[in-house]
């Protein structure tokens, strides 16, 4: 697993895709979220804009969420695990 930081929160991602769009970084991350983590993860993502850091690739930029979806919607039920997919684009 690779680590990505959104502000002060480190997320262990199972997939990381990187693109360059008109000279701006765009990343898409995929990571599991357990029912116990659902609330904190939702609150984090509602911020929409972050300092994005990928330590292993020496990448850092100010970005905003441009796409977000999850594999299931009932993560509030105990024991459920969903897969979140979040795309972030560097702010101009």
Q: Tell me the fold of 2-90.
A: Elongation Factor Tu (Ef-tu); domain 3 (2.40.30)
pLDDT tens digits along 16-37: 999 999 999 999 999 999 999 9
41: closest CA among 1, 89, 84? 84
What's the CA gap between 14 and 19, in Å, rounded?
A: 17
Closest-CA residue to 88 (of 62, 59, 58): 62
For residue range 27-72, what is the model confidence (pLDDT) as tens digits?
999 999 999 999 999 999 999 999 999 999 999 999 999 999 999 8
């Amino acid at each position: 697993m690779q680590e990505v930081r959104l502000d002060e929160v480190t997320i262990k991602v199972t997939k990381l895709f990187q693109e360059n769009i008109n000279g701006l970084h765009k990343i898409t991350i995929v990571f599991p979220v357990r029912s116990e983590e659902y609330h904190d993860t939702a609150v984090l993502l509602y911020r929409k804009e972050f300092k994005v850091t990928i330590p292993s690739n020496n990448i850092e930029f100010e970005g905003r969420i441009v796409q977000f979806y999850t594999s299931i919607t009932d993560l509030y039920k105990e024991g459920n695990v969903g897969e979140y997919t979040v795309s972030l684009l560097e702010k101009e």
